[in-house]
Structure 1
Amino acid sequence: MGTFTMTIDGRGVGSARHLDVIDPATEQVCGQAPDCSPEQLDEALEAAATAFRGWSALDGEYRAKSLVAAADTLERETEELAALLTAEQGKPLGQARTEIASAVRWLRYFAGFRPGREVVQDDEVASVEVVRRPLGVVGAITPWNFPISLAFWKIAPALAAGNAVVVKPSPYTPLTTLRVGELLRGVLPDGVLSVVSGGDALGARLTRHPVPRKISFTGSTATGRKVFAAAADDLKRVTLELGGNDPAIVLDDADVAAIAPRLFLTSFANSGQVCVAVKRVYAPRRLYAELVDALVEQASAVRMGDGRDPGNLLGPVNNRPQLDRVSDLVADAVSRGAVAAAGGSRLDRDGYFYAPTVLAGAEDGMAVVDEEQFGPALPVVAYDDVDEVLERANASHFGLAGSVWGTDVERAARIAGRLEVGTSWVNAHMALAPHIPFAGARWSGIGTENGRWGFEEFTQLKVEYVAGGRRRGTAEISNQSGPRAG
């Protein structure tokens, strides 16, 4: 697919060195990305700082039109971008199209937002307003599982708030993001959105650089700790969307035949490479065998292969280190008494394919249950008592999300309310939208993305106090702007 350029100050920029990008379905090089030098990063950030001053001063309506124009551009180029995304990430082409569509949706949703003003006092003593102002330059560091949609979880609200953004994608999946930068040159003012590519050292330099006032990072908890520590030296604002070990609790009144397909899809979507996917299923002992059999039936029927084949629902694991991790976790569980009721090994073909695996007889204490596997392997754990299983589900360092499944919805909702997570679902999982806030508890993150709450993460709160007399009248209490739903 050739070599792509970085976008710095509205220009295409190459580099002396390049990174090979591997197609996970073939294990062959599918393209090259520039390896950004420290001097080029300086240039990108300085250009962003300059562009910020003009962008933040523009009328909000102009910024909104620019975001809509960006959405229109990506929508027109969906087929090209989706093909590129499938080549470097591995997900099936239809799912790649959906990912591009999500970027378009987020841009259009946040185009309707403006930094707001809220009158909190207006009397003879003082007029007091709370104002939301942009932060400045935002560094966005994005992951390899959803490189485009998760980039626009950051780009769309940050730009709408008046910030400039420098995006650094994962070295495993930089190509589609680089191409997005190329396509949006001239659509957005120069320097407002820059894209640089490189390895982990580039992300560390971006985090420590004095120009960005905020770092928004999505990735592993281990790397998130490093980002947090590096940002602390300059007291940068941070949003960290980190790992999850999401439990799904199946209740004793559940309709197994009805929920098994949905449990399977929300566990194995993107071959399990979703931070908020179901990572462990807790099943009541009386339904345990029936549920395992139903999940095995799903795993045995699903087609896994090259994402360019429209018949395949599941693609490869994105990279060799992650493939090795999934293999090691499954082997460890089997050595400790679990049974691979489906799958349990790599597919005998080129590419990083690991067969959809259902682990029966899994138990708390096994690494595949206690940790985030981030791959196509699902442990199913038996339980006897709801209070006990809630305690086990909550006994985790992670707290991204969780779900409860049963026919008595009110009962299921009460139980879901006791999950110590950022999001709980009933008879659903992975239900995400631009208007719904998304945040993790404990090791799963700091800060919030999406909705008004995520938008405000890209703003600085300022109080404007004017002594003496009424200025506006008590009828005007607030002016919080933004769409109600996505």
Structure 2
Amino acid sequence: MTDQVSMTIGGNAVATTASFEVVDPATGAPFATAPECTEAQLDEAMRSARDAYRSWKQDEAARRKLLLASADAVLAATDTIAPVLTHEQGKPLADARMEVRSVALWLRHFAGLDVDREILQDDDKVHIRVERRPLGVVAAITPWNYPLSLAAWKIAPALRAGNTMVLKPSPYTPLATLLLGRILAEVLPAGVLNVISGSDPLGALMTGHPVPRKISFTGSVATGKHVAAAAAPDLKRITLELGGNDPAILLDDIDVEAVAERLFWSAFRNNGQVCSAVKRVYAPERRYDEVVEALAAVARSVRVGAGTDPRSQLGPLNNKPQLDRVAGLVDDAVRRGGQAVVGGDLVDGPGFFYRPTILRGVSDGMAVVDEEQFGPVLPVLSYRSVDEVVERANDTHFGLSGSVWGTDADRAAAVADELDCGTAWVNTHLALRPDQPFGGAKWSGIGVENGHWGLHSFTEVKVLHRSRA
């Protein structure tokens, strides 16, 4: 075990008498402990955020300056944070470093973003100004796949708008976020960002707490529905970024050799543990075998191993329940007539490793197609007409993102425009930016993150109407 990383409440390092184990997914064994936040400490964190809000909301210039200073502090600590992230999440160390750097990128972007103000009328009769004001305290809950990046998607706009925050990471990956809290406590005023950790029911206690005026949650659809229900009695504002079952449609003019590797990594980045990754590929019937073999060839070349090994391209799945779910989905598909062209089994040895898997002979109605796998598994399906494939791609409760691939980019864009989702990419996928809104349709979420749209989601409109008559 390593020494426990403290929570941050009111700018102070706070320990607890109770703790829970954090497992290294590369070994399947605990390697550290994290603090188990008590209800009294949650109350303390909420009070601290509420008290800090009074002054934090007043000075916009100071907020910009401190977000930039926070970005510098995070970058300076990259080599401290990244190994912790790799040990608790499983991703290769190079990817962990990229994730830490993304935090700084988001902080810098929002430090430079303006909160909109509009003058509706300004004459000798009346002055009408429309402003966006902060909401107050934000309760933020983040998942285990990108614990730091997705925390930054919330921290940067919320604090820039003038809110304060209580942040809780997933109990599977609490350590890097707790460490981030300690680093930012050296920069931000006390109480502006409080970082706590704990297992269930801490998340439910946060969403039902009377202090927060907004809940920003990233995670599963099932939990997102509970969050929405918990927020309803107090009419808390919510942003829910939930699951996806993103289709990639390959048109009949596709250059398979040219796109195979990019398409593969659009599905398998972070071991497939990305809400907006490609989850199912639709290939034209006459090109089907070619597409399957091209993706399988890439899968065979990928090195799977511990994230601490610089040769590893994919690490383990993050946790045992997720490993069991992925294996179960593949086994079910094979029992129902699908074929694992490559992969389809566990990697021998300790840890939560599963071989990159390409499935052929699968069809709509199989769980591996209809549900979000969130792992290194990609089903490839065939289709006969564009109208048919668009209907099949849209026939889902999910609507996070999707992509269309073809040599004729204008034709591909026209097809992409028919997808019922928050983001439709053409000849790419997972192209995310801090200035580009990200959100889902249907069960994939409520609201958006990033860009000025995301910034506005941490505000509410206030009208100042001044009569001059």
Shorter-chain TM-score: what band?
over 0.9
Identify unmatched segments of 5+ residues in structure 1.
470-486
Show the counterpart of 2:453.
Answer: 453
| Structure 1 equivalent of residue 94 of structure 2 | 94
Q: 2:402 matched to which residue of 1?
A: 402
Tell me the equivalent position of 2:305: 305
TM-score normalised over the length of structure 1 = 0.95
Name the residue aligned to 2:166: 166
Shift of 1:121: 2.0
One-letter amino acid matched to 1:130: V
Give per-residue Cα distances to partners, 1:329-377, cap 9 Å, x unaligned: 0001001110000100110111000100000111100000000000000
Deviation by residue 1:267-290 (Cα, 9 ceiling, x = unmatched): 000100000000000000111000
Distance (whole Å) between structure 1 residues aligned to residue 202 and residue 445 of structure 2:
22
| TM-aligned CA deviation for residue 128 of structure 1 | 1.1
Q: Distance in 2 between matches of 1:31 and 1:161?
A: 35
Shift of 1:126: 2.2
Residue aligned with 2:455, SS: helix
Moved over 4 A (4+): none
CA contact (8 A) 1:110 1:157 kept: yes
**SS of the residue 2:189 aligns to:** coil
Read off the aligned partner of 2:437 and give its amino acid letter: P
User: SS in structure 1 opposite 2:147?
Assistant: coil
The answer to whether residue 368 in structure 2 is matched with residue 373 in structure 1 is no
Structure 1 residue 114, shift from structure 2 partner: 3.9
Per the alignment, residue 258 of structure 1 pairs with 258
Match of 1:31 in 2: 32
Deviation at 1:2, TM superposition (A): 1.9
In structure 2, distance between residues paired with 1:465 and 1:19: 53
Instruction: Map 1:41-440; keep pairs closer than 5 Å.
Output: 41-58=42-59, 60-440=60-440
State the alpha-carbon separation in 2 of the partners of residues 330 and 400 from structure 1.
23
TM norm structure 2? 0.99
Amino acid at match of 2:406: G
SS in structure 1 opposite 2:201? helix
Measure how far apart 1:51 and its partner are.
0.3
Cα deviation, residue 124, structure 1: 4.3
Alpha-carbon distance in 2 for matches of 1:104, 1:56:
22
SS of residue in 2 equivalent to 1:116: coil
- TM-superposition CA deviations, 1:221-250 (whole Å, max 9, x none): 000000000011110000000000000000
RMSD of Structure 2 on Structure 1 (CA): 0.8
Tell me what 1:443 maps to. 443
Contact 1:247-1:280 within 8 A present in 2 as well? yes
Q: CA–CA distance in 1 between the matches of 2:361 and 2:161?
A: 50
Partner of residue 12, structure 2: 11
**Unpaired runs of at least 5, structure 2:** none
What do the CA deviations read for 1:292-334 (whole angstroms, capped 9, x no partner)? 0001100100001101111111010000000000001000100
Q: Distance in 2 between matches of 1:465 and 1:367?
A: 55
Instruction: Provide the rounded CA distance (Å) in 2 between the counterparts of 1:396 and 1:186.
Output: 46
Query: Contact (CA 8 Å) 1:90, 1:317: kept in 2 or not?
Result: yes
Distance 1:348 1:264 in 2: 23
1:115 positional shift: 3.1
More moved, 460-469 vs 253-262: 460-469
1 CA distance for matches of 2:142 and 2:185? 20
Spell out, residue by residue over 1:147-174, the C-alpha distance to the aligned partner (whole angstroms, 9 max, x if none). Answer: 0000000000000001001100000000
Shift of 1:183: 1.1
CA distance in 2, matches of 1:173, 1:179: 11
* Residue-by-residue CA offset, 1:9-29 (whole Å, 9 max, x unaligned): 010111111010000001121
Amino acid at match of 2:343: G
Paired amino acid for 1:12: A
Once residues 115 and 199 of structure 1 are traced to their aligned partners in structure 2, the CA distance between those partners, rounded to angstroms, is 36
Residues 113 and 161 in structure 1, CA contact (< 8 A), matched pair in contact too: no
In the alignment, the residues of structure 2 paired with residue 210 and residue 38 of structure 1 have an alpha-carbon distance, to the nearest angstrom, of 13
Instruction: Give, in whole Å, the separation in 2 of the partners of 1:363 and 1:468.
Output: 68
Distance (whole Å) between structure 2 residues aligned to residue 308 and residue 374 of structure 1: 22
SS state at 2:433 partner: coil
Deviation by residue 1:406-428 (Cα, 9 ceiling, x = unmatched): 00000000000000000000000
